Amino acid sequence: MLVLGLLVLGLPIGLYLVSRQTRVETPAEVYQTNVSFSPASATLPPDRTFTITANPGTASLAFAKVVFNFDKTYYKLESEITITNSMPTVVRKTSRADANASGRAEIVVAVPPGTPLPTGSFALANFTLGLVNDANPASSNLTFAPEVMQMIGPNSEVYPISTTNASLLRPTASPTPISTPTPSPTGIPIPTPTLGPELLQNTGFEFNLTGWEEPATANTQVSVVSGNDKALYVANIPDNPDAVIRKTQWINIRPGTSYYFGAAVKVKQAVGEGIKVLAEEYNGDTRISGQTLTYTNTLVFEPKSGYLTTAANATRIAISLFAYDGSEAWFDDFYLFEANTSLNLVTNPGFQLDTTLPIAGWEEPTWADIPEYVSVADITAANATGTKGMKVTASAYNGEKVRKTQWINVSPNSRYQFAGSAKVVRRNGLGVRVLAEEYNGSTYITGHYLDFANASAFETKSDTFITAANTTRVAFSVMTYDYSIGYYDNLSLKIW
């Protein structure tokens, strides 16, 4: 009613900080995610370590928000909350001190582009719980708050949530320690991007508009509604003479460096150019270039992210939220990190993990996994950087080409470098190539390739490309055509 009242009074622009609503409509066919504590019950003392586990079944998660409560009169966190590598981007996390003061903790995490999405049952976070000054409480519970939690899939699907709380028991005899299971090794190392510290302040608008003072437009109205979770509500009235409403943070950065940014937005109404989040690089006050995230989802807060690699003369980045031409939306969970561009997104790039078929990380297509077509070969004599490589043979009768592929999630409108080394034993037709092909889901968009011809030694090549606005993943492949034979090694795909 507050928003409606202000609009009726004829204010040209409304900008409001409001409690974020998370009860949303969901599609008819969705995957339910169960969130639970492990162990499911524990006796305190002594201090106990709990794991928050998520299980989306056969689906995968790209974004998660978890909130849990405990009785602060008797219990306290004895450690900071630790986020696992399953969803390594920490958008927001309650500190130990704040959790103990309120009896409530929140974590908001995401998976960076180019990183495999978690599926099945996996550990999300860990923390240690203890008693307040050796208190002797009655039995209690660790409880989730599903009404404000979110689980989002890779295509912005909102998954229904079921929760399993944990029982906190008082000792009746000498406490018996509860062992924590040791996770089994997964076999293939999964690359996880290394991110620097959060560069933005007040990313979830918990401190009103602190840090978001620019531009200080005179016709902007701010209203604060108290609550545990807040979001910034922006309403751009159609007769606004400026046509756009914007709030910005300026961050000093390093030139020639890749930055990872994003936000979660729920759209009420998109008109004209709609609702966007921008990351723009500047040299002083001169704009160089930028990346744009466009939002359309009206059912749920939609998390999106992207990469921006700064130019050699860039000095700062402007992170901005925009509402154009009568559009309205809620903004939350902003982040900006310096990303590690040395990370290779290709799994088992030098074929050192195994000598058997299928080759670890290179499982597709399965029909090629016979020694006549594909094998791991000893290349010590030919290539001093490694002892193994993949030999791929295209026989005259096997459909003219043999390929091995990895599917890698990437960000749209982002620069990547792909590279590889190859030695040509026999070249015919299109010969021996390394490919990086862009897809939107299963729909092909465009491709990039490296062509090899050197028969005397391993030849190393690389190239860069910028993904299309609708690209979601890359098929990274080695391919031998038309009766050719090639050896492949040292393959890579990196943020650039």
User: Does residue 168 register a pLDDT over 80?
Assistant: yes
Architecture of the domain defined by 366-495: Sandwich (2.60)
Neighbouring residues of 353: CB distance < 8 A, sequence distance ≥ 6 = 188, 359, 360, 361
pLDDT digits (tens, 9 = 90+) for 238-250: 555 456 788 899 9
Residues 487, 490: Cα–Cα separation, whole Å: 11
Distance CA 248, CA 246 (A): 7
For the chain, the C-alpha Rg in angstroms (whole number) is 26
* pLDDT category of residue 337 using cuts at 50, 70 and 90: confident
Token reading at 193? 């991007």
Name beta bridge partners: 261: 306, 336
Please state the φ and ψ torsions of residue 181, each to the nearest 5 degrees.
-60, 145
Check residue 427 and give its pLDDT: 87
Question: For residues 301 and 156, what is the distance between their CA atoms, to the nearest angstrom?
Answer: 9
**pLDDT tens by residue, 380-396:** 555 445 578 888 887 65
CA dist., res. 401 & res. 393, Å (int): 8
For residue 492, what are the β-bridge partners? Answer: 419
d(CA 388, CA 403): 18
pLDDT at 220 over 50: no
Average pLDDT over residues 350-364: 78
pLDDT category of residue 470 using cuts at 50, 70 and 90:
confident
Name the token pair of 457.
């030694």
What is the full DSSP assignment across 70-136?
--TTTEEESS--EE-TTS-EEEEE--HHHHHHHTEEEEEEE--TTSPPPBSSEEEEEEEEEESTT--
46 Cβ partners below 8 Å, 6+ apart?
130, 175, 177
Is residue 266 within 8 Å of residue 65, measured between CB atoms? no
Q: By the 8 A CB rule, do 63 and 120 touch?
A: no
The C-alpha atoms of residue 342 and residue 495 are separated, in whole angstroms, by: 8
The closest alpha carbon to 357, from 367, 370, 372, 348, belongs to 370
Lowest mean pLDDT among 98-112, 341-355, 416-430, 432-446: 341-355
- Per-residue model confidence (pLDDT) at position 37: 92
pLDDT classification of 352: cutoffs 50, 70, 90: confident
- CATH 2.60.40.10 holds for 2-19+199-338: no
* DSSP designation for 364: B
Q: What pLDDT does 373 receive?
A: 83
Task: Please report which confidence band the pLDDT of residue 259 belongs to, taking 50, 70 and 90 as the band edges.
Answer: confident
By residue count, the chain amounts to: 496
Cβ atoms of 332 and 20 closer than 8 Å: yes
Mean per-residue pLDDT for 464-473? Answer: 87
- Domain positions in the chain: 2-19+199-338, 33-169, 366-495
Evaluate whether 2-19+199-338 and 366-495 have a shared fold: yes
Residue 342: name the closest of 31, 89, 83, 114 by CA: 114
Q: Which amino acid makes up residue 122?
A: F
Q: What is the pTM of this model?
A: 0.49
- 439: β partners: 444, 473
The secondary element (H helix, E strand) that includes residue 329 is strand 328-338
Distance CA 441, CA 418 (A): 20
Tell me the CATH architecture of domain 33-169.
Sandwich (2.60)
pLDDT value at 107 more than 90: yes
Per-residue confidence band for 320, with pLDDT thresholds at 50, 70 and 90: very high
Average pLDDT, the chain: 78
Q: Which residues of 260-273 are buried (b: 16+ CB within 10 A; e: fewer)?
A: bbbbbbbbeebeee
For the residues 85-97, what does the mean pLDDT come to? 90
User: Looking at residue 238, what is its pLDDT?
Assistant: 59
Residue 281 has pLDDT above 70, yes or no: yes
Under the banding of pLDDT at 50, 70 and 90, the label for residue 316 is very high
How far is residue 275's CA from residue 20's CA, in Å, rounded to a whole number?
17
Calpha distance 75→130 (Å, rounded): 6
CA distances in angstroms from 143 to 31, 103, 428, listed in the order given: 22, 11, 65
Query: Average of pLDDT values for 87-114?
Result: 90
Share of the chain above pLDDT 70, in %: 79
Whether the pLDDT of residue 477 is over 90: the answer is: yes
